Structure 1
């Protein structure tokens, strides 16, 4: 493997749209531009390590894992970027470590520690301090690559203390906007105000372009 060529293919990935999504306050994480740039650098290094060490069980930091998830959500771009960087689709396997074994947490921490070791050996720099102990490793790991050359990665279910920052917070029950103001001989005028339209998500499908109809 030519490491320079492999690294350049990853460095050339344009992830500006992913960073924009992560910085979005409503549909993203509300990151600053500085944080997005910093994590992008570490994410690209993570991708390189997965390419260079496909048989190592490693785990990225939580921030890098978050960047990875947002990249995957842009399905068409992720597929194209995988082809450019790896030559195959890098699958995300979401069930690693969900067997409920007594050593699950040890495996998780060990994967984070191993990531630190190969990171420092490869790049000659200290691993980002927040993740250096392995305690800040995401519940995500790269397992041995099968003969089909597809890497299997995934996240296990996080503990309750790391629940996602989302959920349902229903508003307090309110009375209908109605009232009775009847004249003496007529029925009451009463009704419910029409609720606002449901708020659309900041995502959707990108339908293929339809061919133009031939002129008659």
Structure 2
């Protein structure tokens, strides 16, 4: 499959915590998911970081699974802060709850759609579960 071969050559950011292990230990959203599925979620989180760095002026909206990995990473500030500083030269902020207000929904839809277009251009497939 061509998409897979493209993704094998994608250089992803280094994260100082084993997020796969953290997801397995944390449970909740990750309960019932096998290691391969969690590894895929963590990989997409790192791919999300890469797009944010490549397109710094562009807002992106994470999928539910990327968002859950992101939240878990932030729950380890001793790792999250230096990871962000090292990769972005600043802290990647998270606007939790954006899109909950009715007036934000059209904006969120546009952010999700154009972000998914960029994701497809960069990685060869569209994300599922963008909101």
State the TM-score, normalizing by the size of structure 2: 0.77
Give the number of the structure whose residues are more often strand, by fraction.
1
- Structure showing greater relative contact order (alpha-carbon pairs closer than 8 Å, 6 or more residues apart): 2
8 Å contact from structure 2 (residues 20, 39) kept in 1: yes
| Segment drifting more, 113-122 vs 71-80 | 113-122
Following superposition, the deviation at residue 94 of structure 1 comes to: 3.2
Offset of 1:33 from its aligned partner? Answer: 0.6
How far 1:27 sits from its partner (Å)?
6.2
Q: Which has the higher helix share?
A: 2
When residues 25 and 49 of structure 1 are mapped into structure 2, their CA distance, relative to the original with a 3 A threshold, is: closer
Q: Where does structure 2 lack aligned partners over 5 or more consecutive residues?
A: 1-9
Structure 1's unaligned 5+ residue stretches are 1-6, 139-216
Cα drift, residue 45 of structure 1: 0.7
How far does residue 24 in structure 1 lie from its aligned partner after superposition? 2.6
Structure 1 match to 2:87: 85
TM superposition shift of 1:29: 2.4
Residue 20 (structure 2) pairs with residue 19 (structure 1): yes
Name the counterpart of 1:38.
40
SS at match of 1:137: coil
How many equivalent pairs are there?
121
Q: CA deviation at 1:67?
A: 0.4
- Separation in structure 2 between the aligned mates of residue 13 and residue 25 of structure 1, nearest angstrom: 17
The equivalent of 1:113 in structure 2 is: 113
Q: TM-score, normalised by structure 1?
A: 0.49
Instruction: Give the greater-gyration-radius structure (CA).
Output: 1
What residue number does 2:62 align with?
60
Whether 1:137 and 2:130 are equivalent positions in the alignment is yes
User: Following TM superposition, by how much is the alpha carbon of 1:70 offset from its aligned partner in structure 2, in angstroms?
Assistant: 0.2
Q: What displacement does 1:93 show?
A: 3.1
Aligned Cα root-mean-square deviation (Å): 2.4
